[in-house]
């Protein structure tokens, strides 16, 4: 049984190569790589990026069952985007009408944009899941402190990311509680699964508010105040001195920024990554 380390989202084997990287490399991964889907409209490029992220999950020894837990979230996301573009996407005379639902016209152009946006969001979500699966609160603070950000900003970022991880854990706790009460989600029809997923929002919000109050009380009991830090108060950092930036960190950071610069250059100079160059724009009906 391999030894595991706690991450923001779960556990990661100690032999994972991700632990050999400096925290600033992993923080810059989130800040830089998450910009890729926002700059790329081409669905083929976003789909290739999603497949690359799945390969990265495997290389980092992250349990792929983590992603399986979000399959209903991905399904719900697609339905929300498709409904939004279908009912509120507008209509033009040159649009191709696939279906009429009373006064509602379901047009191919609106569905096409829904697919483009969905693939962008899938890539962005995979980047965030990978980041949360490989990072700890200390890594976030060390990475941001290495970038010379104020301690108060680093501390708030660490708390925010930790709250996301805890909310995800609460979600699976609610699912397990339902199973303990003999609710078999596998036997429910698909429509009921989607409806059930939406009902999780209420307890999750309640748990998040309760946990925020607990954290606030814990900070008050330790006489922690943000006011002095905003006024330029200095703190001695001991933990960042234990980490060294190695050649692999420099190489990975350079590759990420070089790829980002290439995307910006290619997209704005030649427009190769725009939606109009997609294979979906070559599909015609009627």
Give pLDDT tens digits for 43-89: 999 999 999 999 999 999 888 877 877 777 788 888 889 888 888 77
Instruction: Summarize the confidence of residues 224-242 as an average pLDDT.
Output: 62
Q: Which two tokens stand for residue 84?
A: 């939004």
Is 252 a member of any domain? no
Is 81 a member of any domain? yes
Cβ–Cβ under 8 Å, residues 124 and 34: yes
Domain that holds residue 196: 151-231
Confidence band of 227 (pLDDT split at 50, 70, 90): low
**Integer Cα distance of 224 and 43 in angstroms:** 47
**Integer Cα distance of 28 and 252 in angstroms:** 10
Number of residues that make up the chain:
286
Rounded to whole angstroms, what are the CA distances from 33 to 53, 128, 277? 10, 10, 22
Residue 174 and residue 129 share a domain: no
Residue 225 and residue 84 share a domain: no
Q: Is the pLDDT of residue 131 over 80?
A: yes
Q: Taking the alpha carbons of 128, 155, 163, 69 in that order, is the dihedral positive or negative? A: positive
Give pLDDT, residue 261: 94
The torsion defined by the Cα of 169, 173, 179 and 181, in degrees rounded to 10, comes to -170
Cβ–Cβ under 8 Å, residues 43 and 116: yes
Residue 46 and residue 98 share a domain: yes
Give pLDDT, residue 68: 77
Token match 């190569």: residue? 17
21 secondary structure, DSSP code: S
Is 237 a member of any domain? no
Residue 83 and residue 46 share a domain: yes
Residue 158 and residue 131 share a domain: no
Coil/strand/helix, residue 73: helix
Q: Tell me how many domains the chain contains.
A: 2
Residue 201 and residue 132 share a domain: no
Residue 121 and residue 31 share a domain: yes
Is 16 a member of any domain? no
Token match 């789909």: residue? 47
Give pLDDT, residue 286: 61
Give pLDDT, residue 257: 95
Percentage helix, strand, coil, to 5, in the chain?
70, 5, 25
Residue 70 and residue 105 share a domain: yes
Is 239 a member of any domain? no
């Amino acid at each position: 049984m391999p030894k595991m380390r706690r991450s923001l989202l779960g556990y990661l084997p100690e032999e994972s190569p991700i632990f050999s990287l400096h925290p600033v490399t992993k923080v810059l991964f989130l800040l830089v790589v998450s910009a890729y889907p926002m700059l790329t409209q081409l669905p083929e490029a976003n789909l290739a990026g999603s497949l690359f992220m799945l390969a990265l999950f495997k290389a980092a020894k992250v349990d792929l069952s983590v992603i399986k837990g979000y399959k209903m979230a991905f399904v719900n996301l697609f339905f929300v985007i498709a409904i939004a573009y279908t009912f509120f996407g507008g209509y033009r005379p040159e649009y191709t009408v696939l279906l009429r639902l009373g006064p509602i016209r379901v047009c191919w152009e609106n569905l096409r944009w829904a697919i483009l946006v969905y693939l962008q969001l899938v890539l962005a979500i995979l980047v965030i899941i990978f980041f949360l699966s490989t990072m700890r609160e200390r890594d976030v603070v060390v990475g941001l402190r290495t970038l010379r950000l104020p301690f108060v900003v680093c501390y708030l970022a660490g708390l925010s990311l930790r709250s996301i991880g805890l909310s995800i854990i609460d979600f699976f706790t609610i699912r397990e509680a339902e199973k303990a009460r003999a609710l078999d989600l596998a036997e429910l029809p698909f429509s009921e699964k989607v409806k059930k997923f939406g009902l999780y929002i209420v307890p999750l919000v309640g748990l998040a508010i309760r946990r925020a109050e607990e954290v606030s009380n814990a900070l008050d009991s330790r006489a922690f105040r943000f006011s002095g830090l905003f006024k330029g108060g200095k703190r001695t950092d001991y933990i960042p001195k234990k980490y060294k930036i190695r050649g692999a960190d420099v190489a990975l950071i350079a590759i990420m920024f070089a790829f980002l610069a290439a995307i910006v250059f290619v997209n704005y100079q030649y427009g190769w990554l725009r939606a109009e160059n997609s294979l979906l724009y070559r599909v015609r009906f009627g």
